[in-house]
A = this chain, B = another copy of it.
Amino acid sequence: MLPVAVDAVGGDKAPGEIVAGARRAVDELGVPVLLVGPPDRIGDPMGLDVLACTEVIDMHDDAGSSVRRKKDSSLVRAAEAVRDGKASAMVSAGNTGATMASALLRMGRIKGVARPAIAIPIPVPGSTPTILLDAGANAEVQPEWLVQFAQMGATFFGARYGETAPRVGLLSIGEEDTKGRPQDKEANALLRATKNVHFIGNVEGRDLMTTDVDVVVTDGFTGNVALKTLEGGMRFIQRAIAERIPPELFAELWPHLEPLVTELDPETYGGAMLLGVDGVCIISHGSSSARAILNAVGVARDMVAEDLVRHLREAVQTG
């Protein structure tokens, strides 16, 4: 297969952990990887191929303008490599907005898709994750976009977890079809009329970490708030428990809790997918370590092998 383009200079732990994760992907998964970034910023590429460029978009750069201005940045070059058939997919733990903008401007949208959305796995230990979208690409949405998010989210869930008719819910503030804002009620009605989605109706925030639903759609504002609320809550509780248990007891406890902590760790899932652009684009958490990058490259490889983009196109066009 074509290599996966990995933005070597994006993320809090770049380049060290990023390059190390890419190296592990080659060694452990056998997936070819192309590091993208300025060679002097990458340092030791650990024997991996480098697509050299001269610029870097920082975490705090404005997404839209930096992508237009920094045409020789790692993000723009990674997206171009996918567009030009030099890479099969891109992975970045850098500036999320700029990653989206690079993918959107260079790869373009899948024909028929109104807006790409960020799909993120919410861990449900002991089960497949719940896919939440949009987790932040579009602060405001039209009801019709939510239908496409449902179609794309269900397709992605199917490609990743092999479940062909995943249950899709609309995030709202009550289970009845009449609950929510006017836009949610309209989306609910449109989803009920959508043939290629197994729509189970409205779901609530408390359903995200359960096995009651597979794919949850909402606008990018609400989705981002829900995601960060859950991340904050999980981090808080893990810390609170660790603080309150005496060290000897904690040592006894850890073997029982470690699998749960691993299952709850976003790194386990490799990151979010930008669904709707004409290529595979994975947005990893800003704090990604080597393990997160390894897993992200693995997901990228799987989604390329599954021909995700073709399935997304078909889902949106036949719905």
A contact set with B: CB distance below 8 Å: 125-126, 136, 139-140, 171, 173, 180-182, 184, 204-210, 218, 220-222, 224-237, 240-241, 244-246, 249, 252-253, 256-257, 259-260, 264
A257 touches B241 (CB 8 A): yes
- Nearest CB in chain B to that of A227: its residue: B205
A208, A221, A244, A252: most-surrounded residue (chain B CB, <10 A): A221
11 other A-B residue contacts (CB within 8 Å) besides A181-B221, A245-B256? A205-B227, A206-B229, A206-B235, A210-B232, A229-B229, A233-B234, A237-B237, A244-B257, A244-B260, A246-B256, A249-B252
Query: Chain A binding site: helix, strand, loop or mixed by DSSP?
Result: helix
A160 to chain B, nearest CB (A): 21
A240 to B210 Cα, complex, angstroms: 11
Task: Please judge, given known A-B contacts A209-B233, A245-B257, whether A204 and B221 are in contact too, CB under 8 Å.
Answer: no
CB-defined contacts of A234 to chain B, threshold 8 Å: 233, 237
Contact across chains for B205 and A224 when beta carbons are under 8 A apart: yes
Please list the 7 inter-chain residue pairs (A to B) with the smallest Cβ-Cβ separation, ordered nearest first: A206-B232, A205-B229, A205-B228, A173-B224, A209-B236, A206-B228, A205-B225
Shortest CB–CB separation between residue A181 and chain B, in angstroms? 5
